[in-house]
Each structure stands twice: as C-alpha cells, then as structure tokens.
Amino acid sequence: MLSTRAKSLKPSPTLAISAMEKTLKAKGIDVAGFGAGEPDFPTPDHIKEAAIKAINDNFTRYTPATGTDELKDAVMDKFKRDNGLSYTREEVIITCGGKHALFNLFQAILDDGDEVIIPVPYWVSYPAMVELCGGKPVFLETYEEDEFEIDVKRLKSLVNPRTKAIVLNYPSNPAGSVYSTKTLEEVGKIAVEKNLLIISDEIYEKIAYEGYNHISIASIDEKVKERTIICHGVSKTYSMTGWRIGFAAGNKDIIKAMGNIQSQSTSNPTSISQVAALAALTGPQEPVKQMVAEFLKRRDYIVRELNAIPDIKCFNPKGAFYVFPNFSSALGKKHGDKMINSSTSLTEVLLESYHVAVVPGVEFGKEGYLRLSFATSMDVIEKGLKRIKEAISSLK
C-alpha cells in the first residue's frame, strides 16, 4: 500500500519525544521534559494583537503563494539590517515554517542520487528530507574536542561529481556550536571551486550568547552569496513555533522553483500568521533580548551542573537552546538488569525510571550523547538534573 519512500520514513524523533512527554503528563506523571526544541515563552503581545486585528480586518483569504510583498520586504530589511545582505523580492520566499523552506529547497535542487554533505551532529530532519527528495546524505564528522568545527580537508575529501550541496546550521541544533569566520570563508571557497550550493540554516541566529556575533556565510563575498540559500524563520526568535512561518533567500531561479513547488502543494502560508510575522520582524525587538537573557541563565546553570556529574562532559553552547552532553562513560554499564549499550537505552531508563525526557544523540548522528533542550522553566531544569544525577550514580 505504501510507497518505498514512505515505508522507510520515521516520524521526527524530537517531535515524537515531545508527544510522549505530553502523553505521560496527561496521565498525571510528573515528567521533567527536555525534549521539545521550542521556546516556552508566550508569543509577544504585539504580535498576537496584529494577528487578531488581521482576523477582524478579514485578512483571511489566499495571499500570493510565496507570501505577501509586505512580509517579503520585511525579510529583505532584516537581511540588510542584520547581515548586510541585499535581496530583491524575487530572491525571497515565505514558507509554512523553516522546515518547509528546507523541504521546498531540497525538492527544488535534488535529482535522484544527488549527494548532500551534512555535518554531524545534525538536526534530525536534514537526512530524512534529503532522502525523501531522492538525494543521498553524506555525513561529515565533527568533534566535540574541535568545538564541532568543520575540518576543511575532511570536507574536501567528501566532494565528488555527485555532490550538490552542503548544509550548514549555526548556531547549531543539537550542540549550539557555531563556525568561525575562517571556516565560513574556507567552506565558501570550496563551494565556489567545486560548484556546490550552500544551504545555510540560520534559524537560531538571534538566540546567541555573550561574545558571539553571527555572520551569515552569504556575506563572505558575492560569489559565495550567489550559491547560498539562507533558510530561516520566526519560530525560535519570536517564540512562534505554532504559527508556522519560515523564509528563505537566495538565487532567484531556485527561489522561483521553491515557489512553484509551494504553489502546487501548500499554497500560501497562513495569511494571519504572515501578518503576525510582519509585526515580529518590524516591531520592538526587546522581547527577544529578554528571552535570550533568560536562556543564558539557564544555559549557565545546566552546563555547570552537567559538568559537575562525574565523567560527564558538556560543551558550552554559543547559541540556540540545547546542550549536547557526552554520556559515553555511561555506556556499557547496567541499570538493574538493563544493559545501557546506547544513547537510546539510556534515554529509555531516564524516561521510564526517572521520568526525564531527553533525545538520544544517535538521532543526531552521534552515539554516546544526549540532547537536552533548556527551553523549559528553571524549576523543570533543576528537578530534571537532580534526577539525571541520581540515574547516573545508580548505574553499575
């Protein structure tokens, strides 16, 4: 009954874990949830009010399939203001979430068998989307001891005539790692030399901590800009995960193809959400600063506490709201009769016996790690870390 593609596709593990968390909570179980990667703050009031006004003004019909001109202009202003990048309306598309921008993009650029280089650890949906679009994910290992920086020689060794694109995501999900300007320049150089596209997922640009100044790879030089498609959105910056507005900017032929795909599949992103996103991008940015200040407090606490657990190491994220601690010292131990032989079995013990929900590192391509989202209250973080410490000390 099912297509081969659908048969091999599993649901997003991050969304599956947050769903599991919700089910347990509905049963009255006090779960400390570190699963979902979504800000726990309400969407700022001025954004909600803009959406309510849009409904009352009957702005409830189809818009152009690729988004309204007003929102495209606001996105263009954002790129100019924040990244020094000039785009025309033809080079910008509004999508039904950042995920949808990426999906349209893979649909637009991949033929069967085309290879896409994805640095590991990666956000769960990149390989799945590449495969759904007929492409082949090719993994580029990066390591905690190098702060998950790309080794340019290793990158070069993966490029072959089938290589179509490389995916960059910084600040990254799951590690919160970023790339130095030197790395961005070198990756840009390789892309130009080898005729690769760069897919730069900069959705966590604004969730950045002290000292990190985000530079878009598209701003390296004009040649790099020509082959870079930036994927972005309002979900994380403005606590708007449910509104489903993303955007992308880059080469106008690719953007046009993404628009054709969108016009034949979803049509326009929700009209009301587009008005809300316009208010988000053009309105006061103070709520973003407040949210980031709160994330910073949580990051400092969670990194300190995780590093205080014997034999556990945690990289200090420069951005986003995840930590990706190394729990490999727990592998090979036992919890009661249960052997802990993978990040998945450790995750099961944490959920079943300690009611802590985390995502196994293997879902991001790295065994021995766990991902914890700290987009949750300090109370939950304190409670959850206490339970994790207890769990780790109980392993024999």
| Helix, strand, or coil (residue 197) | strand
For the chain, the distance separating the N- and C-terminal CA atoms, rounded to the nearest angstrom, is 46
The DSSP line for 306-364 is HHTSTT-B----SBSSEE--B-GGGTT-EETTEE--SHHHHHHHHHHHH-EE-EEGGGG
Rg (CA), the chain: 21
Minimum CB–partner distance for residue 276 and ligand GLU (Å): 19
* Residue 57 backbone dihedrals phi, psi, to 5 degrees: -85, 5
Q: Does 37 bind ligand PMP (CB under 6 A)?
A: yes
Binding mask 157-196 for ligand GLU (x = CB under 6 A): ----------------x-----------------------
Q: Does 16 bind ligand GLU (CB under 6 A)?
A: no
Q: Does 248 bind ligand PMP (CB under 6 A)?
A: no
Instruction: Give whole-number Cα distances, 172 to 155, 214, 230, 341, 390, in Å.
Output: 18, 12, 14, 26, 29
Q: In terms of DSSP H, where are the helices of the chain?
A: 4-8, 13-26, 45-56, 69-83, 98-109, 125-132, 152-158, 181-194, 222-226, 252-264, 271-282, 286-307, 343-354, 378-394
Q: Identify which of residues 97 and 119 has a Cβ nearer to ligand PMP in the complex.
A: 97
What distance in Å separates the CA atoms of residue 312 and residue 333, rounded to the nearest whole number?
Answer: 14
Minimum CB–partner distance for residue 86 and ligand PMP (Å): 24
Q: Identify which of residues 97 and 259 has a Cβ nearer to ligand GLU in the complex.
A: 97
Q: Does 292 bind ligand GLU (CB under 6 A)?
A: no
Q: Does 343 bind ligand PMP (CB under 6 A)?
A: no
Cβ(306)–Cβ(96) below 8 Å: no
What distance in Å separates the CA atoms of residue 23 and residue 28, rounded to the nearest whole number?
Answer: 9
Binding mask 140-179 for ligand PMP (x = CB under 6 A): -----------------------------x---x------
Minimum CB–partner distance for residue 175 and ligand GLU (Å): 12
* Residue 136: both structure tokens together: 């082949």
Q: Does 319 bind ligand GLU (CB under 6 A)?
A: no
Q: Compute the residue count for the chain.
A: 396
Binding mask 89-118 for ligand GLU (x = CB under 6 A): ----------x-------------------
Q: Which stretch binds ligand PMP (CB under 6 A): 40-48, 97-105, 208-216, 350-358?
A: 97-105
CA atoms within a 13 Å half-sphere pointing along the CA-CB vector of 377 = 6
- Binder among 31, 32, 34, 37 for ligand GLU (CB under 6 A): 37
Q: Which stretch binds ligand GLU (CB under 6 A): 9-17, 48-56, 72-80, 306-314?
A: 9-17
- Binder among 118, 166, 203, 272 for ligand PMP (CB under 6 A): 203
Residues lying near ligand GLU in the complex (CB under 6 A): 12, 14-15, 36-38, 99, 124-125, 173
Interface residue list for ligand PMP (CB under 6 A)? 37, 97-99, 123, 169, 173, 201, 203, 233, 235, 241, 246
